[in-house]
Structure 1
Amino acid sequence: MNPAIQNLVISLGVMQVARKIPFEDPDILNYTRVGYIAVQVIVLGIYYYVSMKVKSKNDQTVLKYVDAANPMTSEPGQLVTTTVRDYDLSETSKLLRSVYMGILMMGFLHGYMKYTQPLFVQALMGLKGLYEAVPVKVHIFGHKAEGDLKRPWKAAGGMFGAAAGPQTDNAAITEAEKRVGGASKKDD
């Protein structure tokens, strides 16, 4: 099943469960808040642990790929030359940013708008996102970086189709090198 549709189905199911929970009770509301905060701390802690593990491995294997082209422009994808260490750190950083954005959104929804059900839903979705994160699969669960987990990792597909992933074939890399005159772009 498409991950976006799966997230939607799970969210809708959890929202139905959340409707049955009496959030008007201050004790239940406080337990829900503590649960949400605990999940966010766990997720942030695990992403921090992944980044520490990536730094300790210090894999300097060169990784070359052509980034996916922006569909809003006619420009082709750009050549990216990086190391496995830097790539994994940048992907973990993206995951951390998404957690921070979720916390900010939840702060607005719960703190300002006084919605309580999203706390419950986002606590469960945070755990699901952690389980599905590719850096967690590779660096904590110990899966080999091959098949679907081969670098560069493909972005999750959208609701109605698969996202265009990076190209790793030699023809695409050679064509991108020709476009930039042999100079490669360092991805930081």
Structure 2
Amino acid sequence: MNNPAVTNLVLSLGAMQVARRLPLEDPDFITYLRIGYVASQLISLAIYWFITLKIRRRNDLTVLKYVNPPSAMNPDAKPELVTTTVKDYDLVETGKAMRGLFMGIAMMAFLHGYLKYTQPLFIQGIMTLKGVLESNPAKLHLWGKKAEGDLARPFKTAGGFLEGITGKAQGPQTDAASIKAAEKAGAGGKSE
């Protein structure tokens, strides 16, 4: 059971079953649930902050070149050549993950604060920590795994709906031919 999608499904289904048995009408319990949710978010932010410190301390200035494919929403756009360093790439990816964490907090504030749902506090408190600990930056900088396979930079993106319809992979291209073609075409070139 090494597939994150399967473990997410199993964990969320299990957490929902547990949440059904919790006394969600008890105001004292809801207070503890809120404290637990806030604590899990703070722990998640602390983990990302620690990963950011490790990335900066490691200071890997190895050059990384890849070609971002054009957006599926804008078929007229050209592929974009990106030249960056491993350090900068990892910092950007960790920043994206942190923004995702803040979006989740905003969504939970709406669900719990405005719509008064309490069950998602329990489930998201667990799922957020799991997501942080299984993120690519955490695998590389917290767990010390090698940057190869699925962890090779640039990270592969999960297949989306449009990719399934068109059959085209939307992830960044790292092969020498794509990079050379983008350099010759003057494909914008973005340096980070």
TM over 0.5, shorter chain = yes
Contact 2:80 2:189 in 1 (8 A): no
Give the aligned CA root-mean-square deviation in angstroms: 2.2
SS in 1 for 2:36: helix
Whole-angstrom distance in 1 between the partners of 2:189 and 2:146: 28
Whole-angstrom distance in 1 between the partners of 2:74 and 2:4: 27
Cα displacement (A) at 1:12: 3.6
Measured against aligned partners, the alpha-carbon deviations of 1:47-89 in whole angstroms (never above 9, x if no partner) come to 0111111111111110000113211122232110001111000
What residue in structure 1 maps to residue 139 of structure 2? 137
Whole-angstrom distance in 1 between the partners of 2:130 and 2:143: 15
TM alignment of 1:47-58, pairs within 5 A: 47-58=48-59
Whole-angstrom distance in 2 between the partners of 1:6 and 1:175: 40
1:179 maps onto 2:180 in alignment: no
Measured against aligned partners, the alpha-carbon deviations of 1:75-104 in whole angstroms (never above 9, x if no partner) come to 232110001111000000000000001111
Contact 1:62 1:81 in 2 (8 A): yes
Structure 2, unmatched stretches of 5+, are none
Contact 1:36 1:119 in 2 (8 A): yes
Whole-angstrom distance in 2 between the partners of 1:158 and 1:9: 21
Opposite residue 150 of structure 1, the aligned amino acid is: A
1:43 maps onto 2:44 in alignment: yes
What residue in structure 2 maps to residue 65 of structure 1? 66
Whole-angstrom distance in 2 between the partners of 1:140 and 1:10: 22
1:104 maps onto 2:106 in alignment: yes
Structure 1, unmatched stretches of 5+, are none
Contact 1:55 1:85 in 2 (8 A): yes
Whole-angstrom distance in 2 between the partners of 1:80 and 1:171: 14
Whole-angstrom distance in 1 between the partners of 2:170 and 2:10: 24
Contact 1:33 1:119 in 2 (8 A): yes
What residue in structure 2 maps to residue 152 of structure 1? 154
Cα displacement (A) at 1:112: 1.4
Measured against aligned partners, the alpha-carbon deviations of 1:102-127 in whole angstroms (never above 9, x if no partner) come to 11111111111111001001011111
Contact 1:50 1:139 in 2 (8 A): yes
Measured against aligned partners, the alpha-carbon deviations of 1:19-68 in whole angstroms (never above 9, x if no partner) come to 11111112221121111111100000010111111111111110000113
Cα displacement (A) at 1:146: 1.1
**What count of residue pairs does the alignment treat as equivalent?**
186
